[in-house]
Structure 1
Amino acid sequence: MGAKTRIFLLEDDTNLAETVSDFLEDEGFAVEVAFDGEEAQEKLYEARYDILLLDVNVPGINGFELLKEARAGGVDTPAIFITSLNAIENLEEGYESGGDDYIRKPFALKELLLRITTLLRRNFAHRENPRVTVAPGVEYDPTGNTLYERGEPVNLQPKELALLKLFLSRPGETVAHEVIYDTLWSYDETPSESALRTYIKNLRKIIGKEKIVSIKRYGYKYLP
């Protein structure tokens, strides 16, 4: 059997979170739960999921802001908002922040399951693009936004994936530090030189040190 489809659930109502989680696990999914925005933020940086189920009104970062930030960081996992908000502007905000679907409370668990399976099917149907060979034994799936090493997915941080995508879009070109900062960090974040060095180091471990060349005081170059 293959690995279970992984679902991430952000829901601050512990009873509802338990009900949804138990139901989905009975349906054969693996479910990871977070109860507030900060906890969700940490977990989204630590692991990859196949579907995101995000309540909007949660403590800390709300679901809209959480997904907007994740999308800016390169996370393209399909997302469904779960919320009691009804106004049309809320619906628009949900889609503008990168949501793929929207379900209002109270909802039937079977309806949620239908939306999940529909979104998964649509997402997998789009994964027709051939993988890009990054290095010997290392391939990148542009549609699934996943790096594979010897056929196994590599768990990269969203900013590491965004950096890899930038290099692959400009093979053989020197990419300036400023361009990298603008790509990896949103306008309300402060770029970190030390964090960038860590991302470069982690990518080099996977694709080979010789594949990413440092251009002193200017930037980096990916050698295909």
Structure 2
Amino acid sequence: MKILLLEDDMILNEIIEEYLLENGNDVISTTNSQEALETIYDNHFDILLLDVNVPYFNGFSLLKKLRDEKIYIPTIFMTSKSQISDIKEGFDSGCDDYLKKPFELEELNIRIKNIKRFYSIEEEFIYINEEIKYDTKNSVIIKNKEDYQLSKMETKVFEYLLKNKNRVISIKELGLNIWTYEDIPIDTTIRTYIKNLRKIVGKESIENIKGVGYKLKTA
């Protein structure tokens, strides 16, 4: 997994980073919220590990900003702020988990694996309906026993819709969560990828909610 770590305690930062690397993760560590924000804009991450009391603006504000911008990277707060009001603010800002300091590194690893279980596509085949299934290993949509090979970007768009099935996804959200901030293509390019996918699975499976976005409907 590619992980962004935000922790301003340098010793703890190094300890957590080393542990995550030893467990096979790709880690970029930061020590303040502004650096973390810029790094998130410039990279794709599978998960964010955020301290709360950090320089510039706190972790709660950082995550609220990301969620307001339709960036939905799974996030765990790691913080000494342990009051019920703090926990509520953390979840209200959009986090997926809240880990109180001090904690065991193995507990952090367990929580990361739990989030991965919810957000990753692990099944070999995912059924859209009785006639259509998706081969996750080979990026192939199988419709009535015919195979449709997806391009790299079609795969990313389709899998994002799949992870958020039955929810309306805007073009802006697709752009922010699939491409890096500087590489987001124009809206018509993203619409072209969706148009190609709709030709395969049918307009009834990827519904166009006019003026809002697209929804992948599964049985």
> TM-score scaled to structure 2, two decimals?
0.63
Structure 2: distance between partners of 1:89 and 1:39: 27
Change beyond 3 A, Cα 1:120–1:163: closer
Structure 2: distance between partners of 1:98 and 1:201: 26
Q: Could you tell me which residue of structure 2 aligns to residue 149 of structure 1?
A: none
> After the TM superposition, which residues 109-120 of structure 1 pair with which residues of structure 2 at under 5 Å, given as runs?
109-120=105-116
Q: Could you tell me which residue of structure 1 aligns to residue 16 of structure 2?
A: 20
> After the TM superposition, which residues 47-196 of structure 1 pair with which residues of structure 2 at under 5 Å, given as runs?
47-124=43-120, 137=151, 138-139=153-154, 140=157, 141-144=160-163, 161-162=172-173
Q: Which runs of 4+ in 1 moved over 3 A?
A: 125-131, 198-208
Listed as ranges, the gaps of 5+ residues in structure 1 are: 146-158, 166-197, 212-219
Q: Could you tell me which residue of structure 1 aligns to residue 146 of structure 2?
A: none
Q: Could you tell me which residue of structure 1 aligns to residue 40 of structure 2?
A: 44
Give the letter aligned to residue 24 of structure 1: L
Aligned-residue Cα RMSD (Å) equals 3.4
Structure 2: distance between partners of 1:29 and 1:206: 30
8 Å CA contact 1:160–1:199 kept in 2: the answer is no
> TM-score scaled to structure 1, two decimals?
0.61
Listed as ranges, the gaps of 5+ residues in structure 2 are: 129-133, 135-140, 142-149, 165-169, 177-181, 196-210, 214-219
Deviations 1:98-135 (A, max 9, x none): 0010111111101100110111112225995868x9xx
Shift of 1:202: 3.7
Shift of 1:47: 1.2
8 Å CA contact 1:55–1:83 kept in 2: the answer is yes
8 Å CA contact 2:77–2:98 kept in 1: the answer is yes
Give the letter aligned to residue 105 of structure 1: K
**Percent of aligned pairs with the same amino acid:** 38
Deviations 1:33-75 (A, max 9, x none): 1110111111111111111100000001211111111111121
User: For 1:142, what is the secondary structure of its paired residue?
Assistant: helix
Structure 1: distance between partners of 2:174 and 2:114: 30
User: For 2:117, what is the secondary structure of its paired residue?
Assistant: helix
Deviations 1:1-33 (A, max 9, x none): xxxx10111111111111000001000000111
> After the TM superposition, which residues 206-217 of structure 1 pair with which residues of structure 2 at under 5 Å, given as runs?
none
Deviations 1:145-184 (A, max 9, x none): 7xxxxxxxxxxxxx9742759xxxxxxxxxxxxxxxxxxx
